[in-house]
Structure 1
């Protein structure tokens, strides 16, 4: 069942490639990291986010779809007609 959920998360993200996103990730020790960027590419196991260059020292970060499934990472897509939250329950 988890494999189907991971596939559903990937298919959901595929439709938002190129869109601006807000990414909230668990940074450990009760820290939450919030970053903005563009969903650059999706691959079979991971997705790549190109971060806004003026705000971050890294240019790109990658996360697995399991990170969304386990709620370690939370994505919000900023589309022209509103915001869409990507969760494992969609």
Structure 2
């Protein structure tokens, strides 16, 4: 399940490059990080999201595909037909 599941998650993420996403990340001790941005690029082990910030500064965050598998990060993609959550299928 582990390696096959990571490959499926990676392919799902790659399919949505350039689209608007909502991130919800667990930062520990009951702290969560919720932001919206554009799924900018994927790499073999990580993906990068360009965050929309109130200021003019550009901010990028990166997460591994394992973060989605372990549910440390939730990625929701906004599309024409509503939204789709990228997650592992356990």
Q: TM-score, normalised by structure 1?
A: 0.91
Is 1:23 the counterpart of 2:6? The answer is: no
RMSD of the TM alignment (CA)? 1.8
Aligned CA distance change for structure 1 residues 88 and 17 (closer, same or farther; 3 Å): same
Aligned CA distance change for structure 1 residues 30 and 55 (closer, same or farther; 3 Å): farther
How many residue pairs were aligned?
90
Quick one: distance in 2 between partners of 1:29 and 1:42? 29
Aligned CA distance change for structure 1 residues 24 and 55 (closer, same or farther; 3 Å): farther
Alignment gaps of 5+ in structure 1: none
Quick one: distance in 1 between partners of 2:73 and 2:80? 23
How far apart are 1:89 and its partner, in Å? 1.1
How far apart are 1:68 and its partner, in Å? 0.2
Moved over 4 A (4+): 55-58
Aligned CA distance change for structure 1 residues 35 and 55 (closer, same or farther; 3 Å): farther
Q: Match of 2:8?
A: 8
Quick one: distance in 1 between partners of 2:56 and 2:88? 27
Q: TM-score, normalised by structure 2?
A: 0.91
Q: Match of 2:83?
A: 83
How far apart are 1:57 and its partner, in Å? 6.5
